[in-house]
Structures are given as C-alpha cells and as structure tokens.
Structure 1
Amino acid sequence: MRIPDDTIERIKQAADIVEVVGDFVSLKKRGSNYIACCPFHNEKTPSFNVNPARQIYKCFGCGKAGDPVRFVMDIENIGYGEALRFLAKKYGIEIEEQAPTPEDLLKQNERESLFIVLNFAKTYFAELLTNHDEGQSIGLSYFRERGFTTPTIQAFELGYSLNSWDGLLQEAERRGYSRDLLEKAGLILNKTDDGGSKRDRVFDRFRGRVMFPIHNVSGRVIAFGARILVNDKNQPKYLNSPETEVYHKSAVLYGIYQAKQTIRQEDVCYLTEGYTDVISLHQAGIKNVVASSGTSLTIEQIRLIGRFTQNVTILYDGDAAGIKAALRGLDMVLEEGLNVSIVTFPDGEDPDSYVRRVGAEAFKAYIKSHTSDFIRFKTDVLLRDAGDNPFKRAEVIGEVVSSIIRIPDALQRQVFFRTTAAQLRVDEQTLISEGNRLMRKQQEQQSRDQQRQRDRDQNRPQNGPVNRGSAPDASLADINALLSEAGIDGPPDDFFLDDIPAGIAPPAPTPEARTAPKPERSGLSFQEEECIRLLVNYGTRELEPGITLCQYVLSELDGIDFQTSPYNLMLTLFREAYLHGDILTADDFLRKPEQIETHREAINLTTPRHEISDGWLKHEIIVPSEEDVSILADAAYGNILRIKKMLAEQKMLEIRRGIVETTDPDESDRLMAEYMHYKRVDVEIAKLLGTVISG
C-alpha cells in the first residue's frame, strides 16, 4: 500500500535527526553537531556524526550515512515504507491507509510480517488479562499480588495466555494470519503424531501463563517470556520464545525500550536478572534498569548498553556461588571500555523483593552506600575465599591483574594497579610486572595464531602456477627502474601526499575491511572529489563580484569529464542546472535519498570530520577557513590546476606507452611532439603550484 506523497513530505519535515538518532544512541554535543559511538559497528572512540542543520548523519568509521528515514531503515533493518510508518507513529502523523488484508500480509516481507503477528499476539494477551474472566482471576491477580499498578502493567504491556490448546491459533486464523507465520514467530508448535496416524498436532506454545512481551530498542515486540502460575513438575517455570528472524536472545535486554531515556539522563544503567526485577524497580521510580533475562551477559548486550551510557551497575542476588560464577564473565565488559560497578543484596533477597520490602527511597540509599567498582569487588570476593592460604592469595593476584589489563584506558589501568596493590597489601610494581607478563603472553599467543593463519593461507592451493624461487622481492625503487627502462615513469614519491585535499580523511577500516584487499584509488579521484566538495558546499559563493565559484569551476573544466563515478554524474548535474540558470546546492542532493549514489556522496562531502575547538577560539588561535573568500578562491584555483596537471601526466603516460609499442618512425615523431606539448603543460602547472619539477 502506497503512502501519499504529501504525507511522506510531512513525515520528513517532522522527523528531527537528533531526536530520531537519540532514541537509539546517546548523543553528545560537539560544536554545532553531535557525536556518538556508531550503532552500526563496534568502536570505542566516537566517529558517528549527526548534523542537525542538514538533518543527516555520517559515520567516519563504517561509512554509514543518510537522513532520518535511512537511519531507521538501517538500525531497524526495515524497508522504506516501514521506516516512514515508524516515524509517522513517533510524530503522531496519521497515514490514511486501509487495514491490511490477508493478501496484503502475504505480500509483505517475512520480517515485517513477523512484527505484525507478534504485535497482534501482544494485543491479544493484554486483552485477555483485563477483559477475560480467566485472565482477571489468575493473571491480573498475580500481578496485583506483586504490587504492579495499572500504569505499570500498561507500560510493559503485560498479558495472559489462556489455559487452552489453541486459543491464540484460532483467533489468529480468524484474523487472517497463516499457521506458517505463527510458527515462524514462535507462537505455535507443530508436532507430528508418530503413533501410526502421522497427523500434525498444532497448538499454542504459551498456555496458562502470564506474558512478558520483550521489546527491541524502538519498542516493537520481538518475543515473549511467560511464567506458569501453578506447580507442575512437567512444565518449566519460565518459557521464552525461540530464536526467530527478529529475536536473537544474546542481543536483547529486557526493558531497554522503557529504560533508554532515563539511562541517558542518569548516565548509568542498572542490570538485573529477571523481568519482575525490572518492573518493580521501574514502578519504584528507578527506570534506568534492564535485565539479561536469566542468560549470561553477552558482548552484544554490553554494546547495547554502551550505546546509551559507559556506566553499568550490576545488581546481584545474595547468592555467593552465583556471584563468583558471574564474575568470570564480566571481564568482557571491561574490554568494551565500560565502567562496571557491583551491588549485592542480603541473603535471600533480590532487587524485586528488596525494593518491595524497604520501599523506593531506602532502596536508592542502599544502592548508593553499597556500590563497589568491579575490580575492588572481585578482589574482596576472591580474598575472602582464599583466606590465609598463601598459594590461593597468589592466585588472587593473577586473577585480579588479568581483569585490570583488559581495561582499554591506560590511565584507568594505572589507577587500578595502585588501589588494588593497597587492597592486596603488595607492592604496586609487583602487579604492574605481572600485568606486563600477562600482556606479553597474550601478544605472543596472538602472534602465533596469526602466523598459523598465514601458514595455512600460504599452503592453500593456488588458482595458477606459483613461482617458489628464492629471488628476493623487488623494492619500489627496482620497480620504478624497470618502468623507466620501459619508457614509463612511476609516480613521484610525494604524488599522493601532495595532492590529497586537506580536510578529507578516509574512514577508519572495519575488521572486515582490514582483511579484504583495498581498492586502489588514484590521486585524480581525490582531486575530483575535492572539486565536487567545493561545488556542493560553496557553488553559490561569489569569488569576485558577479563570478560564482560554480561559474568559475565549470568554465575552467569546460570539455573535461571526470573519470570517477559518481563525481562525473554530479559534475554533469551541475552543468545541466547551470545551463538553465540554476546552481545546485547540497540540499538539492540531500533531498533526494532515492538517488542513492549522489545522496551518499553529498552527505560525505558536507560532513566535516573535525571541528575547531572552542579553546582555540578562546585563546585567539586563528585557523584559516574556506568561509574566507580569498582562501576559497585559492582552494578552487589549486584544485583545478592539480586536476589539469594529473590529466597531463596521465596523457604523457599513454603517449609513452604508444612510443614504446609503435614501430613507425613518423608515428613515433608525432607522439614525441604531442608528448613534449603535455610536458610543457605539466611543467608550467608545476611552477604555478610551486611543486618540485623533476628533469
């Protein structure tokens, strides 16, 4: 079903890039823009930039870029239409569409269909809880006994599943949902009766249980947790949805949707184990709390927390054995650069029971007085277990140091070495030496692993013949000498360094990119990029009265086409617009996300990676800026000269190859004359640029 164009425009006008991105990551203001750690790839130093003036985002690490609609598409992994509907719901914009028919549902992609059927199930369970006799007498009574109020029940969209074999199945089929879709969503089970009949037995997965919908960061239901309320040895107390296309248990935190805003505001996330812990604390006013849902903490969950805060406090039950087991898995939290603290409760208490017993204010006071950083807490626990046994105390040193060296920040490591040395009553240098030993051991192991991988790669069968002679590798100088003998000049040593435009920094490589061969990029490509950057950002600026930068550049490049796409396409669009009396601006490209190639490049070219520090301005440190017309004119002038110089060098290279290949003396003389023409052009431009001219 198509969304009307005027509605699409209203959605785009209403969507604010800072608000949209801020729903998923914690943004910090830097200058006129905002920065964050990128939600699309793992990083510890922020390279994700949000520009509120242009309503775009750009990651200098992984290259992701776009507008609010594209961000929702990327972060939610959904299509264009669904992203628009997501934003329309966020900003209260009504979309005039008919309710989807079963045929429409079949046409939707499987992922979106799963979201739709899971939302139906959530609504179905919630209605049973409040409107059905069984739901009220069993499910709602249970929640009331735990002290959950109606607003709390509504905030977490709690529900109840009837104690019948196929109540959900029948209602879903009546609404037009297929059994295949219900099964893929983990809502029904399909088992074959092998008792000779081979009949399929289809029934609801959740029966006679209170329901806890599990939401993703944007608030969409992706799975369910369900608790049985009767003692039945044949049934597990808690039953969760299976892994599906939209639900991966290791990457989800229960309550993250309800908690994310408060986590940002308080700059700390409380991590618990169970659903009721989260709900009880939320109701008590402690809303920055999530749960790992009874699973061991995973890297994906840690990184999800890291999108909103760098501080996490783990709330543990009083079970000593469970605490020691959990400590072993927390080193990876340190590796991700998060600051970890621990709070334990008295024996027999968990966050849910304790807050209900003492109340919200006493609970907050307890948290404040009993919070301990992870390293100190781990040291205390291990020391109590070691007692006076010197061998066990030595093991404690190794255990604690192995955690400290996982902290990425060197200054923090130094602080922890000092405080832990005092706690263990040993010399600080002893801990530092042990840490250095362990780090060397890790590095040696990594080197061995890398060498083994290289050996495996070398022994892998090749597609063609392999020369296994003992000749040494040719150096760059040797290669250039061979090229010179063939009549072909190699690039000068400073070719790329001189001609990469200032202010353009290539994105930091992703782990995948480090292992993949990088496509080579010519210096001419960089200069073409710089030319389009100037046109996109400053095309309408007058370099002198009546002469715009666009007019100057297009007149100087008359008859020259760029060799790199999409820069040639963008240059063509500038030329076509100028013929009609118009000068394109960045907005002309940014408003057309459907033109993916030019839209992405426009974002790249309008997003500065660095901003001038306020401290520099405070101390009157003046940095040249292209806002100064004279500097802008010099930049355009130098850029055009470099483009023409590189084209001349390219032409000379082609001619020299022709001279080598031809056997016709007349043709050779003609080519030599043409070569000397371009050589003179090259020399003259080099003089204008002030670069070194080789003989």
Structure 2
Amino acid sequence: MALNKITTEKVRERADIEEVVNDYVPLKKKGQNLWACCPFHNEKTPSFSVSPAKQIYKCFGCGASGDSIQFVMDVEGIGFNEAIKQLAQKYGIEIEEEKAATPEEIQAYNEKESLYIAQAFARDLFVKNLQSDEGKSIGLSYFKERGFNQHIIEKFDLGYALDSWDHLIKSAKSAGHSEEILLKGGLILQKEGESSRKYDRFRGRVVFTIHNLAGKPIAFGARILTQDKKQPKYINSPETAVYHKSDVLYGIYQAKQAIRNEDNCYLVEGYTDVISMHLSGIENVVASSGTSLTENQIKLIKRFTDNVTVLYDGDAAGIKASLRGIDMLLEGGLNVKAVVFPEGEDPDSYSRKVGAKEFQQYLSQHARDFIAFKIDLFAKDASGDPIKRAEIVRQVVQSISKIPDPLIRTEYVKESARLLEVEEGIVMTELNKLLLKTQKDAYFKKKEQENVDSPTPVENLLPEGKKEGGAKQALALQEREMLRLLVNYGFEKVSDELHVCEYLFQETNELKFETPVNQKILKLYKKALKQGVLPEPGYFLKLEDSEIKKVVIDMIAPKHEMSVNWEERHQIYTQRETDDLPKTLYAGILRLKRRVLKKMLDETIQKMKSAGEEEIPELQQVYMELKQFQVQIDRQLGTVIST
C-alpha cells in the first residue's frame, strides 16, 4: 500500500540520521562528522561516515550511502514503505496511506503484513494459554521450575501450546485469519493427500517466541515436556516471508542495547541459556538456537559490538566439533574470547546452580582469548607427542589466518609462539603459507566464476576496445565532477551578477552528457530552476530514485576532513577549492571539454579505419581541428603531453 506523501515528508523531517544510525552501530565523533565500522561489510578501521549537518551516511569502504530512510531499508532488508512505517512508529508519526500501488504490490504487502499479524496473534494465544488449567499445570510449572519469574516470562513472550490438534487454527479463524496465511506462516500443517485436513504445528509444548530486531514476533521454537522418543525435543517454525533462520539470533531484540552498552556479546546455544543469563543480570546475550553460525548472524552481532565471548558447555568433544564458529567470528572481524563451564554444565544449569553473583564472577574470571583457549583445548592430548604439538600449531595458525587485520594477526603470532614455546618465525612461516594458499584459491575461484558467469568475448580483449571503455569511464567521471560543482556551489556567485549554475550552463550548453544517471541529474536540476526551486543537495535526497541519491551523496560526502587544529593551533593553512571558486570552475569545464574532445577524436579515428578513400581527407581535416582544440585546452590546464 502506497504511503501518503505527507507521512513520508514528516518522517524525513523528524528522522535524525544520528539517532537512527546510533540504534544499530555506535558512532564516534571525529571532526564535523560521526564515524563507525560499517554495518554492511566487515572492516576493522571505521570508514562509515555520518553527517548530521547533511543528514546522510556514506561508507568509503563498500560505497553504501543514503539518508535515514535508506539506512533503515538497507540495515533491516526492508522496502521503502516498511522503512517509513518503522521510522514513523519510532517518532510517533501518524501513518496515512494512498491507494496508488499495483494489485501485485498490494497483494505482496498485504500478505507480509498478514503474516506479521498472524504471528502476533499466535504469540498472544500461546501467552494466554499459560493461564489455562493445562497451561498452568504443565507450561507455567515448567518455567517456574527453571526459575523463570513473571517478568522474564513477559519479557520473552514465553507461552504454551495446548495439547490439541486444532486449538490454534480454530482460534485464529474465529479472529479472522485465513488458513492460507496460517499455512504460509508455518503455524499450521496440512496432511499429505488430504486437502482439507489441517492441524496445529505446535501442540502440547512450551513455546519460545522469536523476535526480529524491531521486536515483532516472527517465529517460534517449542519444547516437548514428555518423554516421547517418537517426537523431537524441539520443533521450530519453518522459513517464511518474515522469518529467515540464518538472519536471526534468539534474544537479539532484548539484548541489542545491552550489547552496545557493554561492548561485548555473549554467544550461547539455546533459548533457556539466554533467559537464564538474563535472570543472572546479564542481558548482552544471544543464541544461535542450536544451528551453525552464519555470516549474516555474525554481521548482526557486529552492528552492536566488535567483541564476542562464546560460552561452551563442559564437553571437550563437543567444543572441538564447534570450533568452526570461532573461525567464522574471527573472519567476520570480531575479537573472540571463550568461556568453558565445568564438565556436565551449561550456562542455564550452572547459573541456576551457583546463583547470579558467582555466575557473573565465573564469566569474568574464566574468559580467555581464543588463542589460549584453543591451545589449552588440545594441550592434554599433545603432551609429549611432537606430531600432535605440530598439529596444535597448525590449528592455531588456521584461526589466526581468518583475522582480516594484518596488525592483529602479527600480535597473535607473537602470543601464540610464546604460549606454544616455539620460535615466532615458525608460526609466521606457517601463517604465510596458509595466507598465500587462501589467496591463490580465492583468485582462481573468482576467475573460474567470472568465466562461468560472463565469458569474455575476444573483441573485448583488443586494445582499442579497452581504450574505448576507459574513455567512456573518464568522460563519465568528468561529467560527474561538473555536477558535483553544480550541486555543491550552484547558488554561490562567481561575480556580482553571475551565479555558479548560470556560468556552468553557459560554458557547457553545447555539450551533451553521455551517462544516463548524469543526464537525469542535470535535467532535474534545470527543471527545478524553471519551477523556482533551489535544487540544493537535500532536493535530490528527497527523491525516491536510489541511484540518483547515491550519486549525489558521493558528491557531497568528503572522505577526509581537514582538522581545525592545523590552522588554529599549528598555523598550517591549506588551499580549498572554494578559496578561488572561479578558477576551480574554469578548470573543471576545461577538463570536461577535453574529455568530450578525446571521445570525438577516438570516434574520428574509428571512422577513418572503415572509411573509403574519398572520405579520408575530410575526416583527417576534422581530426586536425579537434586536435588543435585539445592542444589549446592542454596549454590552459598546464598539461605537457596530449593523449
């Protein structure tokens, strides 16, 4: 459903970029802007810039850019309308809708919204069931037995599914939910071979609600309490349009603020581990819910912190089997520690056994760096066995090689050499071997994939083809540079009566932009002027064209800021392009004209190659005239060699 433009404009006015981004990544002030490690790709050095003055963000690593609405779209993986609604809810803005969407869009939107509503209904029903006689005697008594108080039960939306084949389906249909949505949401099942036989997925189980980052219920995990060996201990919701298991961590909604505040995330395995740690006063904890870690889950953690502490049950064999998770965390750019509980214990059982205070002390005292943790894990088996000791070195180096930051890798080489009592050079040699092999494998895999996806035509390998592509790219960049000057300085004056935009249009009126997106921006600028609108950067950022917004943000977001201390404290003065704006504009126009001339020269050469003898003299004359213009421009620019 399309949103009323008034709603969209209210959101644009109220949604402060600093507040919105700070909900996901911690920002630190540097100069006039705020900086963080990018939430959209792995990095150790912050290249993600937020400009409160311009209300934009820009990552100089991966190129992501936009305003507060685009940020929510990208970080949550949702559409424009959903982002507007989410921000409207955050800022208490009333949502007004228009009926302007296509039937297909309306259907897709309505279906997704219906799934969210159906999941919320199921959550409410499961919670309500705890107050039934069956729910009290089975579900509530189980939670109380585990020490879960009413506050925790409400905080995590814990519930109970009655031991009935159709309690949910009947209740949902009475409330107006269709069987189709209940099926698509994974709340009911359909018996094979019987088109009309449908029944509840969750029956006779305690229910754990799974929330998305915004706190909406999107799925459920359910545990059986009887000793029925024919049924699995846990069953979970299937993948749906609103639930993708690999993108979700249990407890992330309840933990995100605590993770940011503590600058650390505890990673556990199950639902009850998360809840028990909350009871112990530790809220910065999430669970992978018994599944292997995924890249998207790691990126989700990295939005809030660079530090992870993995909690392991006291089972050496199980720990060794799950070490791949540590390597993935390291590869994701996270700093990793590990805590191992006594044999036979897990976070849930141990916290209940020793109490909150002692449990917190245990975590603090036993958190070990992953290197020391991994060495200790294999040390007993390798005692007195040189072959096994060599294998420990390889295991440790394998993990170090996953760390993207070379300086951190070097420090870990030193530390592991000290702990393993081997020469540092041996560890470094093994590491370099592994890194070289990894790089070679990645290179050949990339080349192989490129050949499969888009085999290179022979003609593209010819020098002239390469030159033509380079010329087009250079021209596009020079067009972009002129637009940058236009967007940033259009209404400044180059003389008492002439504005920058007027000067640029006069000097380039005969030129036609070749790049489509550049054409669009120039056309929009001129159109705005005719309508009496001042097309400053904010004018373009309000458009729904994401390509235009990205290009404009690239134009107005400087990668580096000059420290005020250079001038104020050290009296070191640097020249800025605004110090002599007419000179900057004139040089930009000359470079653009030169690129256009270069393109025309290349085209003339190509025509001469295929022209008949009678056409050659005329083309040569054209070429010489163009070349003379180019030489004149080169002289004015101070270029020594014409290419």
TM-score (norm 1): 0.82
| Separation of aligned partners in 1, 2:203 and 2:234 | 12
- Distance apart, 1:133 and its partner CA: 3.5
Pairing of 1:55-66 with structure 2 (within 5 A): 55-66=55-66
**CA displacement 1:437-460 (0-9 Å, x = unmatched):** 444454565577678x49x959x9
1:681 partnered with 2:629:
yes
| 1:117 aligned partner | 118
Q: Say if 1:192 and 1:200, in contact at 8 Å, map to a contact too.
A: no
Which residue is 2:256 aligned to? 260
SS at match of 2:202: coil
> CA separation in 1, counterparts of 2:387 and 2:473?
62
Asked if residue 625 in structure 1 is aligned to residue 576 in structure 2, the reply is yes
Give the 5 Å matches for 1:141-152.
141-152=141-152
Equivalent of residue 563 in structure 1, options 514, 517, 535: 514
Q: Which amino acid in the other structure matches residue 551 of structure 1?
A: E
After TM superposition, list the pairs within 5 Å mapping 1:61-72 onto structure 2. 61-72=61-72
1:574-589 → structure 2 map (5 Å cutoff)? 574-579=525-530, 583-589=534-540
Say whether 1:95 aligns with 2:95: yes
AA at the equivalent of 2:121: F
Q: Find the aligned partners of 1:266 and 1:689 in 2 and give their Cα distance.
A: 55
1:176 match: 176
Amino acid at match of 2:509: D
In 2 relative to 1, CA 122–519 (structure 1 residues): closer, same or farther, beyond 3 Å?
Answer: farther
Report the equivalent of 1:375: 371
Matches of 1:570 and 1:315, distance apart in 2? 53
Report SS of the residue matched to 1:544.
coil
The residue number in structure 2 matching 1:690 is 638
Aligned-pair identity in percent equals 50
**Deviation digits for residues 26-78 of structure 1, max 9, x if unmatched?**
43433322334444445555443332222223334444433222332333333
Matched residue type, 2:590: L
- Alpha-carbon distance in structure 2 between the residues aligned to 1:294 and 1:147: 22
Match of 1:402 in 2: 398
Give deviations 1:332-386, integer Å, cap 9, x for gaps.
2222221111112223332223333433333222222111101101101211222
- 2: CA distance between counterparts of 1:677 and 1:34? 51
| TM-fit CA distance, 1:676 | 4.5
Choose which of 207, 210, 230 in structure 2 pairs with 1:234: 230
Pairing of 1:416-427 with structure 2 (within 5 A): 416-427=412-423
2:377 match: secondary structure: helix
Q: Distance in 2 between matches of 1:97 and 1:446?
A: 48
How far off its partner does 1:637 sit?
0.8
1:300 & 1:218 partners in 2: Cα distance? Answer: 17
Q: Which residue of 1 aligns with 2:292?
A: 296
Give secondary structure in 1 for the equivalent of 2:337.
Answer: strand
SS in 2 for 1:207: coil
Q: Distance in 1 between matches of 2:603 and 2:557?
A: 37
Residues of 1 paired with 2:54 and 2:454: CA distance? Answer: 52
State the partner residue of 2:101.
none
Unaligned ranges ≥5, structure 2:
99-103
Distance 1:77 1:398 in 2: 39
* 2:29 aligned with 1:29: yes
Pair 1:654–1:339, CA change in 2 (3 A)? closer
Deviation at 1:431, TM superposition (A): 2.5
In structure 1, give the amino acid aligned to 2:636.
L
3-state SS, counterpart of residue 542 of structure 1: coil
- Equivalent residues in 2 for 1:48-87, closer than 5 Å: 48-87=48-87
> In the alignment, is the contact (CA less than 8 A) between 1:105 and 1:113 conserved in 2?
no
Structure 1 Cα separation of the partners of residues 337 and 637 of structure 2: 58
Counterpart check, 1:636 vs 2:585: yes
Residue aligned with 2:314, SS: coil
For 1:566 and 1:440, the matched residues in 2 are separated by 41
Q: Secondary structure at 1:223's aligned position in 2?
A: strand
Whether the aligned pair in 2 keeps the contact of 1:214 and 1:222 (CA below 8 Å) is yes
SS of the residue corresponding to residue 75 of structure 2 reads helix
Map of 1:147-546 to 2, 5 A cutoff? Answer: 147-192=147-192, 198=194, 200-442=196-438, 453=448, 457=451, 521-546=472-497
Distance 1:683 1:211, change over 3 A: same
Corresponding letter in the other structure for 1:87: L
Shift of 1:306: 1.9
- 1:268: Cα distance to partner? 0.8
What is the TM-score of this pair, normalised by structure 2?
0.88
Q: What is the root-mean-square deviation in Å for CA atoms of aligned residues? A: 3.5
Alignment partner, residue 602 of structure 1:
552
Shift of 1:425: 2.6
Q: 1:205 to 1:104 in 2, by over 3 A?
A: farther
2:42/2:333 contact within 8 Å kept: no
Question: One-letter code of the match for 2:159?
Answer: G
Cα separation, partners in 2 of 1:245 and 1:424, compared to 1, 3 Å: same
Q: Equivalent residue of 1:573, what SS?
A: helix
Q: Which moved more, 1:339-348 or 1:52-61?
A: 52-61
In the other structure, the counterpart of 1:504 is none
Structure 1 contact 44–336 (Cα < 8 Å) conserved: no
Q: Distance in 1 between matches of 2:593 and 2:442?
A: 48
57-66 or 152-161: bigger deviation:
57-66
Query: In structure 2, do the counterparts of structure 1 residues 89 and 519 end up closer, same or farther at CA, with 3 Å as the change threshold?
Result: farther
Matching residue's letter, 2:523: T
What's the CA shift for 1:646?
2.7
- Can you list the C-alpha shifts for 1:87-120, whole angstroms capped at 9, x where unaligned? 122222333689xxxx999563544433232222
1:291 & 1:222 partners in 2: Cα distance?
Answer: 16
Matched residue type, 2:424: E
